Structure 1
């Protein structure tokens, strides 16, 4: 499925085009760090959301 996002062209709350910007290693690579599939953010979430708490940040 593909969706056209109006505005900034991003749908991820941390600034990436998609929330699927990382891959989970499986098989022989299981246990390795997540692999980033996108290396550039579409927008700066701090500029957009300001001081609003981000529940996904540790």
Structure 2
């Protein structure tokens, strides 16, 4: 999994999250909603999870 793949996965997960749709319903723009969701993902350690997954995949190769 490359950095681009990690970024794509994070963005895809954010766009498909319930929180993203809640932000849109509450009047946030698409970019504001995406930023809010990604910021929360950072705080919850989601980025680290994907990076650790990438490290494991590299070790297997």
Name the TM-score class by shorter chain.
under 0.3
* Structure with more strand by fraction: 1
**What is the TM-score with the length of structure 2 in the denominator?**
0.27
* Structure with more helix by fraction: 2
**What is the TM-score with the length of structure 1 in the denominator?**
0.28
